[in-house]
Amino acid sequence: MKANRVTLVTLGVADLARARGYYEALGWEVETAQDGVCFFDLGGMKLGLYDKAALAEDLGRSPADLGTGAMTLAQNFATEADVDAAYDAALAAGATPCKAPEKVFWGGYSGTLADPDGHIWEYAMNPFWKLDEEGKLV
């Protein structure tokens, strides 16, 4: 079994309908949904949106203990123009800007924003990581 992989990222959200609507406004399609949770297929892994109070209960923690965590999620794009378009679409869907897309010290182009629950996303073009026709890193 390959150990270096991620199969599910679950985000605790304050308002599931709002969070789901945000990702759907970005063009994401819900694969399955039940009371308090929904999942998006990411081509070999899943992104789950889970009611934060229910997630805290499942984890044996209080909702206040969960916070938003010190992490980022990222999407890579083929061009700087693609980064700009995706960033603008996320802002239009309700994201909060953190850092507008710009050329960065390591040779790429990236910007960051927060979804409605404060989860930080980086949108980037990395000239050192190629994408296949489906947008997967190769």
Domain-by-domain residue ranges, the chain?
1-65, 68-138
Tens of each residue's pLDDT in the chain, 138 residues: 667 777 899 999 999 999 999 999 999 999 999 888 999 999 888 999 999 999 989 888 888 888 766 678 999 999 999 999 999 999 999 999 999 999 999 899 999 999 999 899 999 999 999 888 888 888
| 68-138 topology per CATH | 2,3-Dihydroxybiphenyl 1,2-Dioxygenase; domain 1 (3.10.180)
**CATH 3.40.50.2300 for domain 1-65:** no
Longest Cα–Cα distance of the chain, Å, equals 44
Q: What is the pTM (predicted TM-score) of this model?
A: 0.85
Contact 23, 17 (CB under 8 A): no
Please report how many Cα atoms fall inside a 13 Å half-sphere around the Cα of residue 38, on the Cβ side. Answer: 17
β-pairing, 96-103 with 109-114?
Answer: antiparallel
Q: Which tokens go with 122?
A: 């980086």
Q: Hey, do 1-65 and 68-138 end up sharing a CATH topology, with the first three levels equal?
A: yes
